[in-house]
Structure 1
Amino acid sequence: MQPKTSALYSTTTVPELFLSAFKAFPERLALADSNQQLTYREVAAKSFQIAHLLKLKGMKRQDTVALLLSNNIDSLVTLIAVQLLGLRYISLHPMASESDHCFVLQDAQARMLIADGIKFPERVQALYQKNTVEQVLTLAPSSIDAGLLQQALTMSTEPISIESLPDDFTKISYSGGTTGRSKGILQTHRTAITMVTYQLAYYEWPQNIRFLATTPISHAAGSFVLPIFLRGGTMHLLDKYAANSFMEYVAQHQINASFMVPTQIYTLLDYPQLDQTKLSSLEYILYGASPMAPSRLLEALQKIGPVFGQLYGQAEAPMMISYLRKEDHDPSRPHLLRSCGRVIPGNTVKLLDTELNEVPTGEIGEICVRGPLVMEGYLNRHEENEKVFAGQWLHTGDMARQDEQGYLYIVDRAKDMIISGGFNVYPSEIENCLATHPAIAMSAVIGVPHEKWGEEVTAIVVLKPGTKPSEKELIDFVLKEKGPVNTPKTIFFEEELPLTSLGKIDKKTIRNKFWQQQDRQVS
């Protein structure tokens, strides 16, 4: 018998999957935006040209490149080229501060920044002047660079030699910084390939995929590129989401699949001219990134249809920890609308207490994960790695319970939990309650400092157009449904809530308004 070798059992890599799609569907439409369309053959040629140019500029396997891009074909083809060359890439948050961007570039030791200089001119110029990277390239010609796309036209369209190895890092995903300084999450080809495999196996894709990306391809939407390509589908790119433009684009291009965050779905539901006929081509809407209020999910099923599938994951175990199927979005089983689904086969998931003991069925514990989906660790964060991998588990920080059928119900993020008068209060439960009030469009519940109780439950709400409930009415509403411990003592009315670049409600910003004068961030 021949001795076993690591090469014999090694997995494939992200570049190999792209090459597979290019070969399988050369004449099919791969990408479309408001300005252009490209077949798989054309995507291959352009991405090879860019990869050859980056190699000519001195970039080599496992060098780190930072990307500040937007939702268009040129940006996505550049992202593909970076992966073909075997680079490790970072996607900068479009809405992050200049200091945050500088920190990420320095922390990851990025050698190059590639940016959309037209979309982000001031930020690109500022980062260029900081000299935090060796080279700054802009997609179009600018005062900084001759233009990556223009220069790439002189390069070969022949495939570039693939040097990536399965254990290489393909991506460093920096956390959004909503709870402090961002951490670099190291993802190898193992994590990426596992995610894609699970996406292909468990998502309920339409037969001929016409997918509309409404969130940044630099983050969640980018995770759908490979599974769509491997099925020969088309990814359409919407640069800026709005309810009316989403409806018009879906109707015009007969879009049958999309990924949306809950706040996008809420704005669509509250749009006065919501026209279900324009959305009739939709067969599948994946949603995730943050919980969706069950009452609003029921409203979406009624107004849009039974097309929803919920994903649950985090950057440390991306997209595919659990999944709630379309058939589980069942109004006759309303309790399931609170669930994030069943664990994806291939993951090992347990709910653990603070002593790393598994909690009984129905009790609350922290979601902890093992398996090939899990990240390699945090970059330059030894102490953080020890915490997040305590007991050889990935600790997600999400508190949940599991029923006898295996459905998971997230109660809240551990760090968002409010401790008031010694009681644990979970903001998501109150937010879900408020969402059932006919006047509430969306809400955020936080704890604010209180001398007696430690933290006082406080709600910040956005009202639906034409409504004007009093603070007392809303407090009494929650009191009746949830009891005194969970009832907000104060309610603030706002025109809108701050959102992160991924469309999540930015509780860090909200919380800072109330905690900025405090010596510490707990009470």
Structure 2
Amino acid sequence: MSIAEELAAGDFLAFGDILRRRALEHPAAVALRDADGGTLNWAEFDARLDRIGARLQAEGVGRGATVAILGYNAIGYALAFCAAVRIGAAAAPLTTSAPPEAIAAMLADSGARHLFLDRSAGDRLTGTALPAGVSRIAFDDSGVGEPLSAWIPPEGARPRPVEIRPADAFNIIYSSGTTGTPKGIVQSHAMRVGHFRRIAESRFDADSVTFVSTPLYSNTTLVSFLPALVGGGEVIFMPRFDARRFLELAAAYGVTHAMLVPVQYQRIMALPDFDRFNLSRFISKTCTSAPFSAALKAEVLARWPGGLTEFYGMTEGGGSCILRAHEHPDKLHTVGPPAPGHDIRLIDEEGREVPPGGMGEVVGRSETMMDGYRNQPAKTREAEWFDPEGRRFIRHGDIGRFDEDGFLILMDRAKDLIISGGFNIYPSDLEGELRREPGVLDAAVIGVPSEQWGETPVAYVVLEPGAAPDAILASVNQRLGSTQRIRELLPIDELPRSAIGKVLKRELRDRYLAG
């Protein structure tokens, strides 16, 4: 049987073994490509993983250990990640957008004794105290650590065989820190294999060319990058996203697959010459991580060849929904129905399931669930919900409802819900009204303290030149209910976003309270 058939049949296959099989199948085909130059074919990729794995083992890295990586997307980054997993260690890709002190805290929490990094990461950590005894290896051969080319053993070196078990940790993903100190989310090999089972459905195969332009420390990226490798195709890395450069490379290399976040789609579609690029080889475009407006989905469907699929879920796992927008153009306001085998329910503030048609917090259960937050059992318990039969679900933190066809409509993040005078106000409703206004390019609504109401809505908006904030506020408030009205409209040059496009509302609240 083929790898895809074995996975579909429910077999457990170790990731490192899958990569070796792909290398034997088509050794001369390109496996990895850096957008700015440099490639590895599958035979070279497989051999390089063995050499890195052998050196890590020689330095005491065994099954159950952790290897940390920090830097921009590159072949060297992928090598460090995949080599760690092959020898039974957990890869810990650290968040480059975090402050240096937070990066040091993540490294300490991970327990890694090896840090693979590039020049950008090394410069960022200048003057920051890292845990004692951590070896630095520069995967770009810069001077921020021992150069990878000097550290790696000679050709032909191979690691000792390691038995990989489904429950073993595959990677540790650190949350982006949008709500405070990042938490280490431990994901098992079994969870990742659950993602790999979709490769046939997603049409990842030896002819695929997958573009990776979001950070490799994000699960958003890994759910595309790792299955692309399992499928045996080519992966192209872009270290920093640029909309025009993305289109140039996609056309030049005949890209077939890409995972993009909504703000990237927005910037690409806004290019005046978008339609001149040949994107005819695209099979699948996917999106996740942040709200994806129905209008933008419709534009992508109309102008960009290939299917468009939105995935709704969490890094922690739980349940996922899948909207195949090209199959359901009348459901673009939803995130789709639950994925096959995924159980998604809605609960109220007391932890009870809401009746059909009701609104509540999303909880989910599937084979793709985290083991827990590393070293934080209390936080793990907070993230769990158990049904009356004792089955474990993960709390998603979103408020939603199901429509009559079982498609999930998201209202807002539970933590972003504004309670004003006892009434629930959903910021997404207000943001939608703001974006309808001529002159409003982007908008984010937050709740701020109010002596009279407890909380009240305030909006930060990105405006076109010449737009009148007072007139926009008056127009929007005229359409809103009396309990929803926005108190202030504050122009801002650009909304603060994480590397994967989430608006950092905590930063906006801090900005408002400080000002």
Q: TM-score, with normalisation over the residues of structure 1?
A: 0.89
* Offset at residue 434 of structure 1 (A): 2.5
Pair 1:291-2:291 in alignment:
yes
CA contact (8 A) 2:138 2:147 kept: yes
Cα deviation digits, residues 429-452 of structure 1 (max 9, x gap) = 222333333433222111122221
3-state SS of 2:251 partner: helix
When structure 1 is superposed on structure 2, of 40-49 and 297-306 the one drifting more is: 297-306
- Counterparts of 1:91-490 in structure 2, within 5 Å, are 91-116=93-118, 118-127=119-128, 129-143=129-143, 145-152=145-152, 154-158=154-158, 160-197=160-197, 199-200=198-199, 202-203=201-202, 208-219=207-218, 220-304=220-304, 307-317=307-317, 321-330=320-329, 333=330, 336-391=331-386, 392-464=392-464, 467-490=465-488
* Offset at residue 305 of structure 1 (A): 5.2
Relative to 1, partners in 2 of residues 1:323 and 1:177: Cα closer, same or farther, differing over 3 Å? same
* Offset at residue 107 of structure 1 (A): 2.1
**Structure 2 counterpart of 1:6:** none
Relative to 1, partners in 2 of residues 1:59 and 1:228: Cα closer, same or farther, differing over 3 Å? same
CA contact (8 A) 1:115 1:124 kept: no
* Offset at residue 256 of structure 1 (A): 2.2
Cα deviation digits, residues 399-421 of structure 1 (max 9, x gap) = 11011211011111111111122
CA contact (8 A) 1:175 1:182 kept: yes
CA contact (8 A) 2:186 2:373 kept: yes
Q: 1:512 and 1:350 mapped to 2: Cα distance?
A: 33
Q: 2:422 and 2:298 mapped to 1: Cα distance?
A: 34
Q: 1:241 and 1:144 mapped to 2: Cα distance?
A: 24
* Offset at residue 204 of structure 1 (A): 5.7
Match of 1:505 among 489, 503, 513: 503
Amino acid aligned to 1:66: A
3-state SS of 2:462 partner: strand
Relative to 1, partners in 2 of residues 1:323 and 1:66: Cα closer, same or farther, differing over 3 Å? same
Q: 1:235 and 1:10 mapped to 2: Cα distance?
A: 25
**Structure 2 counterpart of 1:41:** 43
Relative to 1, partners in 2 of residues 1:152 and 1:322: Cα closer, same or farther, differing over 3 Å? same
* Offset at residue 10 of structure 1 (A): 8.5
Q: 1:397 and 1:276 mapped to 2: Cα distance?
A: 41
* Offset at residue 258 of structure 1 (A): 0.8
* Offset at residue 15 of structure 1 (A): 2.3
Aligned length: 499
3-state SS of 1:258 partner: strand
When structure 1 is superposed on structure 2, of 255-264 and 25-34 the one drifting more is: 25-34
CA contact (8 A) 2:76 2:140 kept: no
CA contact (8 A) 1:449 1:514 kept: no
CA contact (8 A) 1:457 1:487 kept: yes
**Structure 1 counterpart of 2:512:** 514
Cα deviation digits, residues 294-341 of structure 1 (max 9, x gap) = 2233333334356321011111008x71110133451xx2xx111111
* Offset at residue 163 of structure 1 (A): 3.2
CA contact (8 A) 1:102 1:132 kept: no
CA contact (8 A) 2:71 2:77 kept: yes
Amino acid aligned to 2:65: D
Q: 2:67 and 2:158 mapped to 1: Cα distance?
A: 23
* Offset at residue 481 of structure 1 (A): 4.3
Q: 1:205 and 1:468 mapped to 2: Cα distance?
A: 47
CA contact (8 A) 1:366 1:399 kept: yes
CA contact (8 A) 1:15 1:86 kept: no
**Structure 1 counterpart of 2:3:** none
Relative to 1, partners in 2 of residues 1:230 and 1:379: Cα closer, same or farther, differing over 3 Å? closer
3-state SS of 2:493 partner: coil
**Structure 2 counterpart of 1:14:** 15
* Offset at residue 343 of structure 1 (A): 0.7
Relative to 1, partners in 2 of residues 1:232 and 1:507: Cα closer, same or farther, differing over 3 Å? same
Relative to 1, partners in 2 of residues 1:361 and 1:133: Cα closer, same or farther, differing over 3 Å? farther
Q: 1:162 and 1:206 mapped to 2: Cα distance?
A: 27
Q: 1:149 and 1:510 mapped to 2: Cα distance?
A: 44
Q: 1:38 and 1:91 mapped to 2: Cα distance?
A: 21
Q: What is the RMSD computed on CA atoms of the aligned residues?
A: 2.4
3-state SS of 1:275 partner: helix
3-state SS of 2:146 partner: coil
Amino acid aligned to 2:379: E
CA contact (8 A) 1:266 1:296 kept: yes
* Offset at residue 487 of structure 1 (A): 3.2
* Offset at residue 21 of structure 1 (A): 2.7
Q: 1:304 and 1:440 mapped to 2: Cα distance?
A: 25
3-state SS of 2:102 partner: helix
**Structure 2 counterpart of 1:4:** none
Relative to 1, partners in 2 of residues 1:89 and 1:226: Cα closer, same or farther, differing over 3 Å? closer
**Structure 2 counterpart of 1:63:** 65
Q: 2:488 and 2:380 mapped to 1: Cα distance?
A: 38
CA contact (8 A) 1:447 1:457 kept: yes
Structure 1 gaps, min length 5: 1-8, 518-523
Q: 1:302 and 1:311 mapped to 2: Cα distance?
A: 20
CA contact (8 A) 2:53 2:158 kept: no
CA contact (8 A) 1:443 1:459 kept: yes
**Structure 1 counterpart of 2:88:** 86
3-state SS of 2:240 partner: coil
When structure 1 is superposed on structure 2, of 11-20 and 28-37 the one drifting more is: 11-20
When structure 1 is superposed on structure 2, of 492-501 and 92-101 the one drifting more is: 492-501
3-state SS of 1:341 partner: coil
CA contact (8 A) 1:48 1:160 kept: no
Amino acid aligned to 2:371: E
* Offset at residue 52 of structure 1 (A): 1.1
Relative to 1, partners in 2 of residues 1:162 and 1:74: Cα closer, same or farther, differing over 3 Å? same
Q: 2:455 and 2:180 mapped to 1: Cα distance?
A: 20
Structure 2 gaps, min length 5: 1-9, 387-391
Q: 2:313 and 2:149 mapped to 1: Cα distance?
A: 34
Relative to 1, partners in 2 of residues 1:345 and 1:112: Cα closer, same or farther, differing over 3 Å? same
3-state SS of 1:311 partner: strand
Q: 2:441 and 2:305 mapped to 1: Cα distance?
A: 20
